[in-house]
Amino acid sequence: MKFLSSLRGKSQAEEFPLLPLRDLVLFPHTLMSVFVTYKTGMTAIDEALKRDLRLFAACLKMRDATETYAEGSVVRIVQHLKMPDNTFRVMLQGEYRGTIASSTTRNDLALVKIEPIRPAADDAADRETLALMRTVQKSFAQYAENTKKISADTIIATEKTESLERLADIVCHALQVKTERKVELLGVAEPIKRLEAVLATLELENEIFAIQKHISGKVKTRMEKNQREYILNEQIREINRELGKDEKEDEFAEMEWAIEAKNLKEEIALKARKELARLRRLQPFSPEAGVLRGYLEWIIDLPWEERTVDSGDLAGAERILHEDHFAMREAKERILEFIAVRRLLSLENERAGIKGPILCFVGPPGTGKTSLGKSVARALGRRFVRISLGGVRDEAEIRGHRKTYVGALPGKIIQGMRKAGMINPVFLLDEIDKLSHDVRGDPASALLEVLDPEQNSAFTDHYLEVPYDLSQSLFITTANSLHTIPYPLLDRMEVIEIQGYGELEKRAIAQTFLVPKSLRENGLGAAAVSFTDAAILAIVRHWTMESGVRGLEREIARCVRRTAQDAVKENYGQDTGKPLAAFARTVEEADLEKLLGKRKYKRETVGQESRVGVAYGLAWTEAGGTMLIIETIAFTGSGDPVITGNLGDVMKESARIALSYLKSAGERYGVSLALEGLNIHIHVPEGAIPKDGPSAGAAIAASLLSTMRQTPPKAGVAMTGELTLTGRILPVGGLKEKLLAAIRNNMERVILPKANTEDWDALSTDIKDSLSIDFVDTADQAFSLLFPPVPEPH
């Protein structure tokens, strides 16, 4: 620390025994009683008693160290008492401040020479100094009031003194601050600067006290408020008892009024009144009271009779459905049928008779199933509620928990009804095929009651414990596949297939819906940005490989974002730049590689190759249609067939059927290989992807026949159909998805079962124009299209 040496006294340095103190700082003009129990301190006092009772007291820098601060005070022993164990209790009076100039040590005794710190002036010589003293006195008085630990004599002493030094010493002695800070205040030589430092310390401590007081006040106020509310509630109860009123408090009266206003059925109203009576008898803060209060709030908040009036405007509903979605003819017709039937029924007949249908939209991802549910709600004029069932594995998610459980709630169905606020919303259960189950129950089984029009008028949630009418709701479920939906649940739903889109359909969807939406979402709604039809078709063919339009929407959004970046670079749309309406851009096919990068799909597929043992089948998956490459080889072995490619049991059976059929009818097809002693290995590539289903039977047979005859089938031909042991080709499902897969893989010709002729006739013109189709009834007809005729034997 730096001190003003010029202000120190000029008298010769005196020598004193050194008394090291632990966490204590002694100031002049003060008295302090000190216990000395350590050897160096006792030695110093013994030496002082031999001399003139004076020693130098300095604070240790660290509690367990031996080094002291240089600054300290020369003190006189006023009283001393030596204990039997040679320790001392001494009363010390501070005389003046000093700094250690030098020190010597003999045994345990340290002798130090001290240079006094003696200021030149020690009185209030001017007005500013006097004002400073009074400010310190006032601040110290406030500090004493805050701490409540400073005696009145000390406060009076500070008020009466006219000495700057004395005032600073008394205040510093009384301050409850860290030892390091007290040593700093002790060592400042100039009185005014020392007093200013003391004032700064006092103001800081007072500010800390003020903050503590404020925080304590807020906590106390909060506690007092809770206590006050409790007392007032108890007083209200007592007053109501004295007045003989039935309502114990307004809360119960409001709940009772709300329950009566709901016009509940007698069974439900009786249950609510019973629980309300129980709540009145309980203490307000008991756990059971909280459970009952929450239960009654659910009863009051749920819609029991409230309903929206369905739109009877058939033409308006049809217009809304066409505005929001392209194609989906079957789904739209079913909704329009529902609206028409509703219009023919009066309200009384509606409540007594018609039930809300249970529809299931099934189709590949990205075909608009979820958004179609929103459009249905808009067309009907109803509220819309969506619940995602993907990954739900707890039955309580559907039926709720008993209200006695901690944190119990109703299930998702009842929660959705409260959110809708009406008893007849459009209720979308998304991804119903993704339900799971474990030890906590089977949520699919819990949905049986919800999705049965004959039962859901009295659906019982475990939390409510009373029947709730779900029959007025229009339930719509969505799924990518029906295979994982339990049959009892599937049987309760009206399945409507949402098929994938062809190229022309995707182009129309993009131009009508996706491009305007992407322009709005990316800040170019006011600009003249457009896509050519050729650009859209190029994106469909070379940057996506899907049945839906989700990937197409992402790629269009990428183009729009790059275009938006160009608009900003050209200073469009900014306050100081050009208006956004003046920005015009047409995205053409030649611009796509610059905007989207290299093509992802080249469309030059292996289907154009003609190889021995390779046939091309078509399959339906949850993500849409796909093409299967079926490979077969024969080699010497035990004669057992080998089937690989992560195939399901049904597909393995199809392979065995095809092999058995060809063994039985091999001569008819000119098979020259002796199958005995040969191993047949059938493989479907992409083995990491599970594959199953009977529709690849005809394609497997074609691959086997090609291997047996060592003749490749015609290139660019795909086929689908189930093969029987007698050589018949049976119809298949998912025809549109499979044909779209053939188009995506650049196939030219497709062989289909003749029984699928009606499905072919129902397809759009663009799909029909893209492929050449051959319909067959038998394997003979299919093989005659794939292979050259068998030469007549000579």
Give tens-digit pLDDT for 477-493: 999 988 889 999 999 99
**CA 450 – CA 412 distance, rounded (Å):** 11
* Residue 90 DSSP label: E
Residue 612, pLDDT above cutoff 80: yes
Contact 41, 19 (CB under 8 A): yes
Which of 38-47, 550-559, 576-585, 735-744 is predicted most confidently? Answer: 550-559
SS3 43: helix
Contacts 24+ apart (CB under 8 A), 517-524: 517/553, 518/553, 518/556, 518/557, 518/560, 519/560, 521/557, 522/557, 522/560, 522/561, 522/564, 523/564, 523/573, 523/580, 524/560, 524/563, 524/564, 524/567, 524/580, 524/583
Residue 674, pLDDT above cutoff 70: no
Contact 292, 362 (CB under 8 A): no
Output the CA–CA distances (angstroms, integers) from residue 774 to 603, 717, 720, 752, 759, in the order listed: 23, 10, 11, 6, 14
* Residue 23: per-residue pLDDT: 85
* Residue 350: per-residue pLDDT: 47
Give catalytic residue positions: 695, 738
* Residue 347: per-residue pLDDT: 46
Strand partners, 634: 680
Residue 1, pLDDT above cutoff 80: no
* Residue 120: per-residue pLDDT: 64
Whose tokens are 């110290």? That residue is 140
Which positions ≥6 away from 297 have C-beta within 8 Å?
none
Average pLDDT over residues 160-185: 88
Output the CA–CA distances (angstroms, integers) from residue 730 to 241, 468, 779, in the order listed: 83, 47, 10
Q: What's the chain's length in residues?
A: 794
> Where does the pLDDT of residue 409 fall: very low under 50, low under 70, confident under 90, or very high at 90 and above?
very high
Calculate the CA 738 to chain-centre distance: 37
pLDDT in tens, 182-194: 888 888 888 888 8
> Worst-scoring range by mean pLDDT, 7-11, 31-35, 635-639?
7-11
> Where does the pLDDT of residue 440 fall: very low under 50, low under 70, confident under 90, or very high at 90 and above?
confident
Average pLDDT over residues 108-116: 87
Helix (H) or strand (E) holding 772: strand 772-776
Contact 25, 186 (CB under 8 A): yes
Residue 352, pLDDT above cutoff 70: no
Residue 348, pLDDT above cutoff 80: no
Which of 97-106, 467-476, 630-639 is predicted most confidently? Answer: 467-476
> Worst-scoring range by mean pLDDT, 83-87, 380-384, 579-583, 715-719?
83-87
Calculate the CA 728 to chain-centre distance: 54
Contact 76, 95 (CB under 8 A): yes
Provide the percentage of residues in the chain whose pLDDT is more than 90: 35
SS3 423: coil
pLDDT in tens, 211-220: 888 888 887 7
> Worst-scoring range by mean pLDDT, 21-35, 39-53, 522-536, 570-584?
570-584
User: Which tokens in the block code for residue 8?
Assistant: 């120190």
> Worst-scoring range by mean pLDDT, 148-152, 230-234, 318-322, 355-359?
230-234
Residue 425, pLDDT above cutoff 50: yes
* Burial class of residue 64 (count of CB atoms within 10 Å of its CB; 0-12, 13-18, 19+): exposed
Average pLDDT over residues 638-650: 83
DSSP E strands in 570-651: the ranges are: 584-587, 614-621, 624-636, 642-644
Tally helices (H) and strands (E) across the chain: 28, 24
Residue 5, pLDDT above cutoff 50: no
